[in-house]
């Protein structure tokens, strides 16, 4: 664990974060309206989203429909 006793211990971390933020290229208004995307662009998919793409939930729903129709 990091031992932070004063502001100088945090300075390298703040500098690197500030560098990442200030060097990041912002999208122009035209780019945002053309792509329709705003905000964060590096959001990773969840497991559920991958499962949905592969049809896991669809298969489960079909099985449940078949079970319900037998009743």
Tens-digit pLDDT profile for the chain (71 aa)? Answer: 677 787 777 788 888 888 888 888 777 777 777 766 666 677 788 999 999 999 888 865 556 666 656 65
pLDDT at 69: 61
The first and second tokens of residue 15, run together, are: 């500098």
10, 4 in Cβ contact below 8 A? yes
From residue 10, give the alpha-carbon distance in Å to each of 4, 17, 23, 27. 7, 11, 20, 30
The pLDDT value given to residue 35: 66
| H-assigned helices in the chain | 7-23, 29-35, 47-54, 56-70
């Amino acid at each position: 664990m990091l031992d932070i006793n004063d502001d100088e211990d945090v300075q390298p971390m703040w500098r690197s974060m500030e560098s990442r933020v200030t060097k990041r290229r912002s999208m122009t208004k035209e780019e945002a309206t053309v792509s329709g995307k705003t905000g964060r662009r590096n959001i990773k998919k969840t497991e559920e989203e991958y499962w949905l793409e592969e049809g896991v939930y669809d298969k489960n729903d079909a099985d449940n429909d078949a079970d319900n129709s037998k009743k």
